[in-house]
């Protein structure tokens, strides 16, 4: 019965403009994988039928992907295979309220289709993908899912601009449940809402259906999927490239488990902070063959023929068969035999007719040049050819440094050109001219050479020299760093040794088992006790009798084939050492063939201890990777040829006499770099890899009451706390994720990845993630840490002037902001924790633990404190970038040339840089044509001021002075409109109403101004509450990351109350009583605040989300006051709408209050509703003459009314006098009339 393989491959590089950033390698990924399937899947006559469907770029719409699932993949029957491969952006989107119990962070993981981020489009949510897969699974085919994308990430440190991440921004739009494809399928909806899918169990962050399936994903949920540039200069996904490389180098089938292990070892060895994952509903399914064994086995040789068309000899193997392209690194060599030669004959190289080298590599064939034995060939005959030598690519480095480091750069280049024997160029290392082409960067700085990773500048080894010296750059130091690079190159070449495409040894001929004799394993659920089977192995030290014990691991090798095989296991450690420590024999070990009764096995020493070396641990490195490489061959080989000490230059030509096979020649080539012609026999060989990460936790130290506790040799000093009883230690994000899953980083901190990174207490090296987490265990009472009794940390790490620290934690329901950080006078960092969350479950502590994360955000202010206030001219480019001109004379000249001027004034947080781009984004209609708001003005001015310590009245006076200096005094003869946000509106009003600004300003537009004050008692309360809303996605509008930086800058700068903005403050009373300035005011108020779901009382918890959040952030009394006074009335999160609109309407002109808009306090200048309101306010601006006419008319009306009242009074009195003539006292009446006339 034919097995149909239904494959759907989706690759998206180019997304619509203005929707999301494009990628470069996704279409390359699916094109290469499609070629592999087309070439390597067995044909119909062999029992397999490939049904391939490819959609890419604009074809890959959301509906198209859904249709192909339902129409193409759903054809798969019980004997068939369904494969879905996606390469593109992953992301997250706001989860509907119905899914909140399932998604603790209230976000769904998604795939971004081509049209997902258009006006009417949506991402393909993980639950929709699960639904589609479940429909395919109903007929019980074999299902394989491959996702080369990422969804969340954890704030990767310092990514370079060249690094492309396959992670899109969070989709902030509200998505109703009825837009999901399963909305009308009630049984499916109940299944998805079931409790079986808990966020903490999702290694990759993606919810999958219960039906049988196997999932490959590019990385863990807290990591990022990166793009990778191959040796040929082609962009690919790192996951996709090394997946296909592993498959191409496998002759025949490979189990999913072996494929995952090999893939993980290659990716982690080449790309830092990315660990491919494999998941299955049943762990035993991982022992199935990839695609059910559909990958056909090639002959154990290539066929060499002469092509008349190409006038060249060719072999039937190309890039799809892992034949590398010729390069400076060397060439692929083959020997050839008569057609029909037996396998035994082809293993004797002395029987070969001649030798050839590859000159050009095509996908399915390669051109070769005959270099020996040409006279033995006939152009009408075919021959059998086997590979005897492969090129080992050099390590590519990019040398960088400032102009001041020219001497150091020159010496490094000289050393590189003279590093080999005979003063020849290095055979292992090659300099490249483009940073993006390099494997490593050589950083030349301050008299030292640093070997760093290209994507984040993280050093991989200690610098040379380790300390700066007076000698500066020397030839000796330069040569030493080149030797270190050559050492790393050899390590990489050993890692890259992989199964030849024509090998007759199958990947499952030898099984490698990793047996944990002691220690604690971190792995996915379902593994067999004591036997480690997952693709990524993490093993922890265990605490025994008060001391940490390193794990003890044993290796078991089993020959399941029917032939004798030789093997050994090589350990490639993170220090770039290579060793063979597991067996007594360091060369190769004979594994006799399998017999009818049993398979032959051999176990390694049982006292092998894997540890984090003390030298690393003392530097704060708690995670250490070892890659175990199994090499299997049909003949003996000497694995000891590959041994090298940690970063010591190896001795050359260590090859012993006697072993002369092709595998041995390749091992010699690793160390000598010379092309060695193989002698003796042709070796069939195969490799497998397993990555082991050793985790060595730090000792937890008790917090003292009256003295400090030091961590990591004084790098962190925790000040004493009078009441807190707990232990603490530093940890890493991967260790924290063991208990929290993907609940590591709030979505708002992933919106603008270039602005954020995790704050590390120590400088990490290599693949170590760095100490960036503070863990508190054995906590007796977490509530004793308050704003009055905070827990303070002194960290021996500097912060730049524009960097801010956010300490936060997840308490099982909410992400909580815990405090603030600031720079100290001695250049270090002080972190103040004003609250702690309740402990959550911990695998190490029975009572749970508190895991505190620290995120660093960058925020570049316009000026330094002593420069404020700043009146500047601003320009905005097409991408929204603001360029300021602060020079007084230049600004004055610009003012002189302008007639229509707009002035932006910021509020209590942020600066004008976040406001000014609105001048381009807001669109007005002029004479039936749409134009940007900026086209109505000749000049944009900005006023940035010190908004914390300086009184509002003083800032108003300074505003007047600055305007006067640039020519905008009284009666300046131009038009000046002010756009003021929040407190900036109060500054503007005081200037206009009390400082003569009514003779300067023609129109004031206020957005979110607290004209009747704010209910928040302190700035800190509002800032922390707002951070809480943002971190937990509780605001109706999702804010950009920069908002968090504004709030942190705000918190660091002050400890002030909002005295001037309290409802009964003197300032607000005076503003309310000010005389009419006769200047047009326009008021804009947003009415979006907290999502309605957060205000609803949840019956099972007797409170609302908002109440619980506020209770966790503040003392109970304060939380109740804020809840009742503020959140129960319309507001924009910071100010009540009644306060925004509270300007005396008995003015001429009367203040114009625009209809409430769907906007909040932090999004007036970014959200479309705010931009539209701003355009309305400024496009309908009244003219000065109009208001002057209103004033004149008003005066005329007043005079007319006064005269009318006087005449009426006289008439009335006359009537009274006439009526009183009949009565005495006429004299008195006459005198009264005289008084009235005199008046």
Cα–chain center distance at 345: 55
CATH of the domain at 222: 3.40.50.1460
Residue whose entry in the numeric block shows the structure tokens 């020397």: 474
Mean pLDDT of 571-586: 89
In a domain, 1096, yes or no: no
- Residues 1136 and 1013: their CA atoms lie apart, in Å, by 9
**Sheet of 124-125, strands arranged across:** 90-94, 107-111, 124-125
In a domain, 918, yes or no: yes
Asked if 99 and 16 sit in the same domain, the reply is: yes
SS3 290: helix
- Residues 164 and 680: their CA atoms lie apart, in Å, by 47
In a domain, 1129, yes or no: no
Asked if 627 and 535 sit in the same domain, the reply is: yes
Structure tokens at 1220: 């009183």
- Report percent pLDDT > 70 for the chain: 84
159 pLDDT tier (thresholds 50, 70, 90): very low
Asked if 952 and 938 sit in the same domain, the reply is: yes
* Domains of the chain: total: 7
Structure tokens at 800: 């730049």
Asked if 877 and 919 sit in the same domain, the reply is: yes
Q: Quick check: 322 and 364 in contact, CB under 8 A?
A: no
- Residues 69 and 129: their CA atoms lie apart, in Å, by 9
Q: Which of 389, 408, 443 is the last residue of a domain?
A: 389
Nearest in space to 538 (alpha carbons), one of 275, 352, 325: 275
- Residues 992 and 980: their CA atoms lie apart, in Å, by 13
Q: Quick check: 42 and 48 in contact, CB under 8 A?
A: yes
- Residues 8 and 55: their CA atoms lie apart, in Å, by 8
Asked if 1151 and 1207 sit in the same domain, the reply is: no
Asked if 658 and 781 sit in the same domain, the reply is: no
- Residues 1207 and 264: their CA atoms lie apart, in Å, by 100
For position 660, what pLDDT does the model report? 52
Could you give the C-alpha distances from 776 to 714, 792, 851, 852, in angstroms and in order?
18, 14, 7, 8
Backbone phi, then psi, for 1034, in 5-degree steps? Answer: -95, -10
For position 721, what pLDDT does the model report? 95
Q: Quick check: 734 and 769 in contact, CB under 8 A?
A: yes
Q: What is the pLDDT of residues 620-654, one digit of tens each?
A: 888 888 889 999 988 888 888 888 887 632 233 33
Nearest in space to 994 (alpha carbons), one of 917, 897, 1071, 910: 1071
Asked if 207 and 348 sit in the same domain, the reply is: no
Mean pLDDT of 326-332: 77
SS3 content of the chain, % helix, strand, coil (to 5): 30, 25, 45
Angle at which helix 1184-1219 crosses helix 1226-1238, to 10 degrees, equals 170
Asked if 689 and 726 sit in the same domain, the reply is: no
Judged by average pLDDT, the poorest of 501-505, 666-670, 721-725 is 666-670
For position 98, what pLDDT does the model report? 81
Cα-based angle 67, 73, 76 (whole degrees, multiple of 5): 145
First to last CA, the chain: 119
Find the domain containing 1216 and state its range.
1188-1238
Asked if 975 and 1070 sit in the same domain, the reply is: yes
Judged by average pLDDT, the poorest of 492-496, 773-777, 1192-1196 is 1192-1196
In a domain, 689, yes or no: yes
Neighbours of 40 (CB within 10 A): 21
- Residues 617 and 608: their CA atoms lie apart, in Å, by 19
pTM: 0.74
330 compared with 1034, residue with greater pLDDT: 1034
Beta strands in 264-382 (DSSP E): 277-280, 302-307, 312-315, 333-338, 354-361, 366-372
Q: What is the pLDDT of residues 510-556, one digit of tens each?
A: 989 889 898 888 754 333 343 444 567 889 898 888 888 999 999 99
- Residues 575 and 647: their CA atoms lie apart, in Å, by 7
For position 89, what pLDDT does the model report? 92
Q: Which of 251, 266, 293 is the last residue of a domain?
A: 293
884 compared with 1199, residue with greater pLDDT: 884
Q: What is the pLDDT of residues 377-432, one digit of tens each?
A: 988 889 999 888 877 788 899 999 988 899 999 999 999 998 877 788 888 899 99
In a domain, 792, yes or no: yes
Asked if 771 and 898 sit in the same domain, the reply is: no
In a domain, 40, yes or no: yes
Residue whose entry in the numeric block shows the structure tokens 């250049």: 827
Could you give the C-alpha distances from 467 to 447, 463, 828, in angstroms and in order?
9, 8, 21
Structure tokens at 699: 């000792």
For position 847, what pLDDT does the model report? 59
Judged by average pLDDT, the poorest of 128-132, 439-443, 769-773 is 769-773
For position 1228, what pLDDT does the model report? 45
Q: What is the CA radius of gyration of the chain?
A: 37
- Residues 598 and 43: their CA atoms lie apart, in Å, by 34
Neighbours of 116 (CB within 10 A): 26
Cα-based angle 54, 58, 60 (whole degrees, multiple of 5): 45
- Residues 447 and 813: their CA atoms lie apart, in Å, by 50
Asked if 595 and 730 sit in the same domain, the reply is: no
CATH of the domain at 471: 3.40.50
In a domain, 1041, yes or no: no
In a domain, 333, yes or no: yes
- Residues 1007 and 1169: their CA atoms lie apart, in Å, by 12
- Residues 1185 and 1004: their CA atoms lie apart, in Å, by 17
Asked if 752 and 784 sit in the same domain, the reply is: yes
Q: Which of 243, 266, 293 is the last residue of a domain?
A: 293
Q: Quick check: 655 and 664 in contact, CB under 8 A?
A: yes
Beta strands in 1089-1199 (DSSP E): 1097-1098, 1103-1104, 1152-1153
Could you give the C-alpha distances from 645 to 578, 648, 649, in angstroms and in order?
7, 5, 8
């Amino acid at each position: 019965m034919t097995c149909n393989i239904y494959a759907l491959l989706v690759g998206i590089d180019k997304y619509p403009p203005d929707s999301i950033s494009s990628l470069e390698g996704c279409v390359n990924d699916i094109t290469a994988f499609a070629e592999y399937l087309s070439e390597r899947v067995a044909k119909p006559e062999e029992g397999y039928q490939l049904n391939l469907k490819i959609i890419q770029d604009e074809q890959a719409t959301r509906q198209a992907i859904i249709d192909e699932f339902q129409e193409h993949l759903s054809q798969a029957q019980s004997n068939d295979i369904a494969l879905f491969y996606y390469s593109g952006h992953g992301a997250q989107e706001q989860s509907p309220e119905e899914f909140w119990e399932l998604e603790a962070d209230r976000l769904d993981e998604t795939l971004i289709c081509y049209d997902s981020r258009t006006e009417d489009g949506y991402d393909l949510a993980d639950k929709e993908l699960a639904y589609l897969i479940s429909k395919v699974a109903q007929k019980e085919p074999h299902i394989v899912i491959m996702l080369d994308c990422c969804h969340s990430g954890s704030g990767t440190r310092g990514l370079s601009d060249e690094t492309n991440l396959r992670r899109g921004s969070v989709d902030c739009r509200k998505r109703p449940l009825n837009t999901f494809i399963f909305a009308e399928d009630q049984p499916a909806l109940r299944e998805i809402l079931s409790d079986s899918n808990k966020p903490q169990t999702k290694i990759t962050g993606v919810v999958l259906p219960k039906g049988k399936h196997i999932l490959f994903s590019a990385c863990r949920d807290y990591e990022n999927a990166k793009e990778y540039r191959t040796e040929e200069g082609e962009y690919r996904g790192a996951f996709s490239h090394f997946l296909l490389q592993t498959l191409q180098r496998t002759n025949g089938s490979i189990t999913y488990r072996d494929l995952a292990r090999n893939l993980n070892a290659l990716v982690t060895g080449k790309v830092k902070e990315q660990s491919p994952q494999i998941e299955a509903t049943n762990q035993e399914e991982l022992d199935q063959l990839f695609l059910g064994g559909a990958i056909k086995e090639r002959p154990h040789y290539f066929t060499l023929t002469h092509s008349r068309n190409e006038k060249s000899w060719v072999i039937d193997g190309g890039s799809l068969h892992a034949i590398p392209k010729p390069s400076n690194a060397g060439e692929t060599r083959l020997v050839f035999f008569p057609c029909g030669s037996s396998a035994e004959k082809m293993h004797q190289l002395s029987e070969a007719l001649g030798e050839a080298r590859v000159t050009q590599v095509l996908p399915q064939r390669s051109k070769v040049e005959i270099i020996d034995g040409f006279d033995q060939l006939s152009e009408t005959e075919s021959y059998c050819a086997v590979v005897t030598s492969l090129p080992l690519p050099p390590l590519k480095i990019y040398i960088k440094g400032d102009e001041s480091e020219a001497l150091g750069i020159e010496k490094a280049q000289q050393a590189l050109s003279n590093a080999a024997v005979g003063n020849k160029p290095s055979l292992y290392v090659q300099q490249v001219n483009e940073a993006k082409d390099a494997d490593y960067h050589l950083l030349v700085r301050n008299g030292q050479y640093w070997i760093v990773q290209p994507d984040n500048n993280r050093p991989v080894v200690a610098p040379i020299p380790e300390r700066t010296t007076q000698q500066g750059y020397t030839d000796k130091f330069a040569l030493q760093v080149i030797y270190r690079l050559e050492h790393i190159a050899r390590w990489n070449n050993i890692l890259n040794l992989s199964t030849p495409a024509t090998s007759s040894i199958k990947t499952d001929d030898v099984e490698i088992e990793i047996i944990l004799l002691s220690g604690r394993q971190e792995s996915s659920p379902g593994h067999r006790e004591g036997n480690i089977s997952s693709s990524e192995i993490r093993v922890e030290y265990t605490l025994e009798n008060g001391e940490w014990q390193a794990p003890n691991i044993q290796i078991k090798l089993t020959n399941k084939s029917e032939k004798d095989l030789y093997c050994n296991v090589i350990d490639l450690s993170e220090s770039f050492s290579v060793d063979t420590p597991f067996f007594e024999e360091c060369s190769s070990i004979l594994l006799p063939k399998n017999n009818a009764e049993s398979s032959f096995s051999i176990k390694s020493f049982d006292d092998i201890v894997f540890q984090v070396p003390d030298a690393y641990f003392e530097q704060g490195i708690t995670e250490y990777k070892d890659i175990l490489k199994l090499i299997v061959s049909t003949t003996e080989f000497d694995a000891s040829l590959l041994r090298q000490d940690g970063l010591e230059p190896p001795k050359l030509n260590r090859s012993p006499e006697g072993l002369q096979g092709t595998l041995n020649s390749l091992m010699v080539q690793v160390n000598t770099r010379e092309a060695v012609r193989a002698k003796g026999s042709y070796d069939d060989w195969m490799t497998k890899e397993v990555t082991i990460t050793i985790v060595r936790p730090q000792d937890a130290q008790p917090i003292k009451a009256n003295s400090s506790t030091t961590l990591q040799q004084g790098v962190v000093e925790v000040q004493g706390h009078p009441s807190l009883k707990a232990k603490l230690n530093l940890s890493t994000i991967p260790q924290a994720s063991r208990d929290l899953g993907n609940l590591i980083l709030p979505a708002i901190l992933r919106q603008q990845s270039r602005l954020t990174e995790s704050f590390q207490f120590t400088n990490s090296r290599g693949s170590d993630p760095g100490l960036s987490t503070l863990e508190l265990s054995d906590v007796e009472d977490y509530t004793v840490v308050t704003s009055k009794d905070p827990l303070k940390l002194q960290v021996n790490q500097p912060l730049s002037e524009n960097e801010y620290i956010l300490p936060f934690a997840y308490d099982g329901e909410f992400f909580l902001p815990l405090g603030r950080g600031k720079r100290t006078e001695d250049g270090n960092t002080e972190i103040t924790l004003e609250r702690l969350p309740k402990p959550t479950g911990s695998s190490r502590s029975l009572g749970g633990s508190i895991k505190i994360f620290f995120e660093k955000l960058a925020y570049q202010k316009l000026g330094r404190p002593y420069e404020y206030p700043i009146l500047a001219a601003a320009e905005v480019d097409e991408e929204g970038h603001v360029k300021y001109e602060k020079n007084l004379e230049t600004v004055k000249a610009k003012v002189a040339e302008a007639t229509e001027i707009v002035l932006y004034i910021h509020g209590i947080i942020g600066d004008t840089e976040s406001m000014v781009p609105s001048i381009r984004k807001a669109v007005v209609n002029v004479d039936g044509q749409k134009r940007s708001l900026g086209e109505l003005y000749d000049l944009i001015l900005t006023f940035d001021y010190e908004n914390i310590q300086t009184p509002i009245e003083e800032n108003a006076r300074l505003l007047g002075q600055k305007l006067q200096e640039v020519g905008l005094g009284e009666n300046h003869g131009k038009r000046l409109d002010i756009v003021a946000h929040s407190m900036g509106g109060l500054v503007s009003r005081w200037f206009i109403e009390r400082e003569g600004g009514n003779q300067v300003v023609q129109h004031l537009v206020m957005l979110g101004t607290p004209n009747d004050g704010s209910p928040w008692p302190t700035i800190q309360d509002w800032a922390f509450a707002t951070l809480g809303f943002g971190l937990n996605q509780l605001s109706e509008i999702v804010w950009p990351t920069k908002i968090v930086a504004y709030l942190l800058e705000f918190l660091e700068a002050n400890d002030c109350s909002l005295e001037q903005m309290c409802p009964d403050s003197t300032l607000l009373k005076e503003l309310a009583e000010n005389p009419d300035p006769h200047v047009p005011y326009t008021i804009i108020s947003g009415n979006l605040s907290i999502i309605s779901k957060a205000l609803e009382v949840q019956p099972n918890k007797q409170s609302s989300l908002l109440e619980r959040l506020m209770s966790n952030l503040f003392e109970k009394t304060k939380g109740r006051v804020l809840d009742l006074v503020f959140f129960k009335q319309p507001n924009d999160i910071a100010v009540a709408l009644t306060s925004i609109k509270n300007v005396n309407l008995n003015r001429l002109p009367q203040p114009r209050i625009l209809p409430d808009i769907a906007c909040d306090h932090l999004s007036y200048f970014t959200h479309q509703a705010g931009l539209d309101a701003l355009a309305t306010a400024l496009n309908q601006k009244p003219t000065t003459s109009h208001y002057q006419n209103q004033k004149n008319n008003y005066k005329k009306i007043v005079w007319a009314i006064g005269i009318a009242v006087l005449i009426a009074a006289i008439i009335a009195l006359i009537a009274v006098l006439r009526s009183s003539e009949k009565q005495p006292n006429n004299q008195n009446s006459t005198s009264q009339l005289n008084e009235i006339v005199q008046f």
